[in-house]
Amino acid sequence: MKKNMDGPKYSWSQLGKDYFRQTHINVDGLRMREALTGEKDVLVQFFDGEIVFDSTRPTAKLLIH
């Protein structure tokens, strides 16, 4: 069982006869903002937010302040 970095609980998966369920980590703009502001960095296992974020976008500064 690995730590679910998107929340306080551990990630899990469950395989049944006719189904498979598992937790997930959101990879979205909210998580990107948290990574850029240093609040939380759940995306580090996927990519470096500093490299991916386009700071030249007109509204970029609004997202990280």
Give the count of beta carbons closer than 10 Å to the beta carbon of residue 36. 19
Residues 42 and 6: their CA atoms lie apart, in Å, by 6
pTM: 0.60
CA distances from 21 to 12, 15, 16 (A): 8, 7, 8
* Structural domains counted in the chain: 1
In a domain, 24, yes or no: yes
In a domain, 8, yes or no: no
Q: Tell me: the pLDDT tens digits for 2-56?
A: 555 555 556 788 999 999 999 888 888 888 889 899 998 888 888 898 898 888 8
* Residue-number span of the structural domain to which 34 is assigned: 13-63
In a domain, 52, yes or no: yes
